[in-house]
Amino acid sequence: MKRVFRHLLAPILFCLLLLTVISTSRAGTFGQNYSITFLADPRGYGETWKNALAEIRDMKTNPNPAIMPSELVIVAGDIDPLESRYYDYLEVFKSTSTRPVFLPVIGNHEFDDGGKSFRFARDIVIPSIPNAVRRRAASCDYFLDYKNVRIIVVDGYTDLGRNGVINDDGRQWVEQTIRATPSCVDHIIISFHEPAFARGRHAGQSFDRDPGLRNAFWRMILKYRDRVRAVLVGHTHAYYRMRVLDPGGIAANDITAFPDEDGGIYQVDAGAAGNGELNTIVRLQVEGNKLLFRTLQAKNGANKPFNEIDRWEIDYSPRTSDVTPFGAPVTKAVDSEKVK
């Protein structure tokens, strides 16, 4: 009986501890809105990358309803040379009191130069992330619980995948991590480098090169669509978004289509903050059960102004009971301009 009681008490104590940490964080008290920024593929284009970071810091382009300053920055791979790009980040965000947490995702180019960028992520950057939980020691697969969000990062190139295709072990680890998420976390976001549904360059040469594993992964996360909100990717160097319910369906596998299927989960490709035609930033504001997305773009180079090119928002009905854990989200999208 005591063992059962301890088993039931553990997640309750975790949530109470999480709420205590939240209430004393630099962003203020629990319940305040906060934002996450999502980028990808800066590679060797330091001036364009630093311009994106400066916009995240200064928020010169922030039309109503305004987005709060970013508290997390997810970079979905191809950050090489990572040591240089990371020091750019520290230089732009000089103040540790306002510096957002940097969350790297492993991409295929992290293995260039004999894997120097991969090792820098593994040995320097990921260990510096406060409260990150690695799949195992020296792993680049990890998750982070931040306020009411759990972010799950998958390395699709070493233990849990090959060539950007997440394998059975990877799918099982992600599912275990989803299932272990405490009840006080409302939103789960998953990030890896290569898209499940690639468009433009790399179509058919990304996670979609193995439709069987891709479909199995997507169907797995669909089981948890009451909490899994989006999959954030890069690799193609072009911004687009879609919402997929049927990973084996015609629309999901038509490289000219961008499905928006009710009950599906979003895949958002951040394009590139350097190695693409346009410098792209995706902002995500968390407002309780509501998520607000804003996408900004600028020309490549230093000191180029950003403009908002896309926006949408999603309202999620709260989970009601353990009997119906997989309620479909209620979504509302408001687009200023959809770029696909």
The 10 Å CB-count burial string (b at 16+, else e) for 180-214 is ebeebbbbbbbbbbbbbbbbbebbeebbbbbeebb
Q: Is residue 205 part of a domain?
A: yes
Residues 15 and 42 in one domain: no
In the prediction, which pLDDT does 15 show? Answer: 55
Listed in sequence order, the residues at least 6 apart from 133 whose beta carbon sits closer than 8 Å to its beta carbon are 142, 143, 144
Instruction: Classify residue 298: in a domain, yes or no.
Output: yes
The reported pLDDT for the residue numbered 314 is 86
Same domain, 135 and 165: yes
Pair of tokens at residue 82 = 């990572």
Number of domains in the chain: 2
For residues 59 and 118, membership in a common domain is answered with yes
Please check whether residues 127 and 176 belong to one and the same domain. yes
Q: What CATH number is given to the structural domain containing 321? A: 3.60.21.10
Is residue 339 assigned to a domain?
A: no
Q: How far is CA 278 from each of CA 74, 127, 275, 340, rounded to the nearest angstrom? A: 18, 31, 8, 13
66 and 137 co-located in one domain = yes
For residue 70, the SS3 value is strand
The tokens for 146 are: 């931040």
Tell me which residue has tokens 């284009």. Answer: 45
What does the pLDDT look like over 258-282, one tens digit per residue?
999 999 999 999 999 999 999 999 9
Q: Is residue 337 part of a domain?
A: no
340 inside domain: no
Residue that the structure tokens 């990150």 belong to: 132
Cα-Cα end-to-end distance for the chain: 56
pLDDT at res. 315? 83
Confidence (pLDDT) at 204: 85
Q: Are residues 227 and 110 in the same domain?
A: yes
Q: Quote the strand ranges of 24-181, DSSP E.
A: 34-39, 70-75, 101-104, 133-134, 142-146, 149-153, 161-162, 165-166
Q: Which stretches of the chain drop beneath a pLDDT of 70?
A: 1-31, 317-340
Distance from C-alpha of 4 to C-alpha of 57, rounded to nearest angstrom: 48
Angle between helices 211-222 and 168-179 (to 10 degrees): 10
Same domain, 87 and 232: yes
Shared domain check, 200 and 169:
yes
**Domain extent at residue 86:** 33-332
Structure tokens at 63: 């039309």
Spell out where the chain has E strands.
Answer: 34-39, 70-75, 101-104, 133-134, 142-146, 149-153, 161-162, 165-166, 187-191, 228-233, 239-244, 265-270, 279-287, 290-298, 307-315, 331-332
pLDDT at residue 228 in the model:
97
**Does some domain include residue 7?**
yes
Q: Is residue 243 part of a domain?
A: yes
Tell me whether residue 304 is exposed, middle or buried, using C-beta atoms within 10 angstroms of its C-beta: 0 to 12, 13 to 18, 19 or more. Answer: middle
Here the tokens at position 96 are 């540790």
CA 284 to chain centre: 10
So what's the pLDDT on residue 34?
97
Question: What gap in Å lies between CA 278 and CA 301, rounded to an integer?
Answer: 10
Is 322 within 8 Å of 316 (Cβ atoms)? Answer: no
pLDDT of 316 reads 77
Amino acid at site 30: F
